[in-house]
Chain A
Amino acid sequence: MEKVTIIRSSVVPVLLDDIDTDQIIPARFLKATSREGFGENLFRDWRFNDSGESEIKFPLNDKKWSGEILLAGENFGCGSSREHAAWAIKDYGFKAVISSHFADIFKGNALNNGLLPIELSKAFIEDIKEEVLLNPETKLEINLEQQEVILRVSGEREKFVISPYNSGNSDVD
């Protein structure tokens, strides 16, 4: 698995609380027997309407937003233990998710797949949100070695905790 040390990127904000793994990847897409290809159906029912057309207002479909960091509300990844949720986010192209807290199983699944679940204070997330909504090109830096997130426009920073043992170890080795 690729070792991640620093991510510098703009963010894609999906600012809802309690985003559950059924939203991240609906159950009807869990029939595959491999780990690949789930990104196509990430947030499927929020990204597309009943007729399969793009919901243009959803941040992943809005050209204004791009980047390797997903910014979410609190309690991200609650519900089902499906690791497919972490696979889908990673496969779509995100390298990190930021929330004020993650559901336990999701957090473990993310770490086991080299997707960083970054827990920050609500206050700092609020500051990031303000900057990002003002200027979608606002960049964040996630430094895994320093265990720190830096809002590059203001230099505001905050520490996070990820056990070094957990970030990048394969499951069976």
Chain B
Amino acid sequence: MKTLFDKIWDKHLVEEIDDQTQVISIDRHYIHEVTSPQAFNSLNEKGVAVMRPDLTTATADHNVPTQDQDKAIKNELSRIQLETLKKNCDQHGIELYGLGHENNGIVHVIGPELGLTQPGMIIVCGDSHTSTHGAFGTVAFGIGTSQVAQVLASQSVLTAKPKTLLIQVDGELNQYITSKDLILHIISRLGTGFGAGYFIEFAGSTIANMSMESRMTVCNMSIEMGARGGLIAADAVTYEYLKTKKFSQGVSLQQCEEMKSDGIEAFDKVVKFNAHDVRPTVTFGTNPGMGIGIEDQIVTQDNDTFTKSLEYMGLTDRLKLEGLPIQHVFIGSCTNGRFEDFEAVAAVIKGNKKAAHVRALLVPGSNAVLKQIKSAGLKEVFESAGFEIRQPGCSACLAMNGDSIPAGEYCVSTSNRNFEGRQGAGARTILASPITAAFAAINGKITNPN
């Protein structure tokens, strides 16, 4: 008996060196400006060529401005980093969807959107949220820069084979509950280290009923449980998504439906959840496992890590998040920066205005998403509600590009990490779904959508 993960992995196994080290061939390698320059340096110093430029796709996303992308980049280091990416891609014949290109956007948004991510593949990228691509029945995981160099040079990677964990979710999600609430709920129950050493498969009726966008949100955050990645078996929903995309025209329904896990017994570990138990979920602390239902009380723990976290968040005297005044809302990122997310936000805010003291920033995951927003008439909805809509990029998810949250202020964010300083030094991040974030923007405080 084999899991879907094992089947894909074994097909790509080149060599088993020892029980901690295997060589795995790679079908698609995504690269971006932040984790690739030092890898190219390694190649260039040794005079090594990129083995399969045709299987390598580059984008600029982590460090790009989200305004005036047609103008020169003001920050010198950022400009040099983007120029270095272009130079390296030109030198090695790699397709680059740079700033302003119609295919530009966050690497984990554009890969699926272009149909480059396909069932049965092994995909890597120097970014931990590469797990996003697992939504397509793909083994996808983040790697470090030394491994980026390995993949550029050999189209294979040296890594340990993880064990397998099945997370089965059944039942219907309640009204206003999104796949983001589900994954925040799961991580809050299991903790940030539960998945260490494992690759997750998400299955069950709840997952089967989700759109591809929602599935991507779930797989995206697998890494926040410490897992190498998370995947979902491809099916007819996957096929329907891929059949209209640029590079996946050749993918058949049969190809989408043929690869499945053999049964629950094939997994090293199994956890089950009931979708009815999931409520609008937000985080209160400084790691994604510190989540609660909006109406719940924080259960305090007597240890230094927990105390430091609550102090950082300014929540030592307040054990409930509902009603907490907030100053910023950020909607975007590889977790929730797709058209479906902006549609959900628009449905909530239509006819309303953001609270006067709130700054609401919407950053589409790609130029294609921005185009969809415009053609669906949502830009007007956002603007008349007082939301600021930007050009694509990772933006305030990691605040590398200057889109940051001031120290001490609260931001309800649809991104994936609430680490200290993640959205700017001293910034206080509350992770939430796009719907919860939209309600927070209108009311100026954490609000239960129900």
Which residues of A are at the interface with B, using a C-beta cutoff of 8 A?
A: 15-18, 20, 22-23, 26-28, 30-35, 45, 50, 73-75, 78-84, 86, 101, 103-105, 108-109, 112-113, 161, 163, 165-166, 171-173
Report A-chain residues with C-beta under 8 Å of the C-beta of B77.
31-32
28 A-B residue contacts at CB 8 Å?
A16-B304, A20-B419, A23-B421, A30-B34, A31-B34, A31-B78, A31-B400, A33-B38, A33-B41, A33-B80, A33-B81, A35-B41, A45-B426, A50-B407, A74-B193, A78-B226, A78-B287, A81-B142, A82-B35, A83-B146, A84-B145, A101-B196, A104-B162, A104-B197, A112-B146, A112-B147, A166-B20, A171-B147
Task: Kindly list chain B residues whose C-beta atoms are within 8 Å of the C-beta of A26.
Answer: 421, 425
Give every chain A residue within 8 A of B146 (Cβ-Cβ): 83, 109, 112-113, 171
With A31-B81, A50-B426, A108-B159 in contact, is A166–B21 under 8 Å at CB?
yes
Q: Which residue of B lies closest to A100 (CB)?
A: B193
Residues of chain A contacted by B126 (CB below 8 angstroms): 81, 83
Docked CA distance A170–B78 (Å)? 28
By secondary structure, the A interface counts as: loop
A16 touches B305 (CB 8 A): yes
Q: Assuming A16-B308, A33-B37, A172-B150, is B192 touching A165 (CB within 8 A)? A: no
User: When the two chains form their complex, are residues A105 and B43 in contact, meaning their CB atoms are under 8 A apart?
Assistant: no
CA distance A165 to B142 in the complex (A): 21
Can you list, as one digit per residue, whether each of B30-65 has a CB less than 8 Å from chain A (1) or not (0)? 000011011001110010100000000000001100
A173 to chain B, nearest CB (A): 8
Evaluate contact between B144 and A108: CB separation under 8 angstroms. yes
Contact of A15 among B20, B41, B304 (CB under 8 A): B304
State A173–B128 Cα separation when bound (angstroms). Answer: 25
Determine if B128 and A75 form an interchain contact, defined as CB atoms under 8 angstroms apart: no
Name which of B62, B407, B419 has the most chain A CB atoms within 10 A of its CB: B419
**Cα distance A104–B194 when bound, in Å?**
12
Interface contact B305-A18, CB-CB below 8 Å: yes
Among candidates B145, B197, B407, B422, residue contacting A27 with C-beta atoms closer than 8 Å: B422
Q: Mark B389-416, 1 if CB is under 8 A from A, else 0.
A: 0000000001110000001000000000
Q: In the complex, which of the residues B20, B63, B419 contacts A79, with contact meaning CB atoms closer than 8 Å?
A: B419
CB pair B420–A22 under 8 Å, yes or no, is: yes
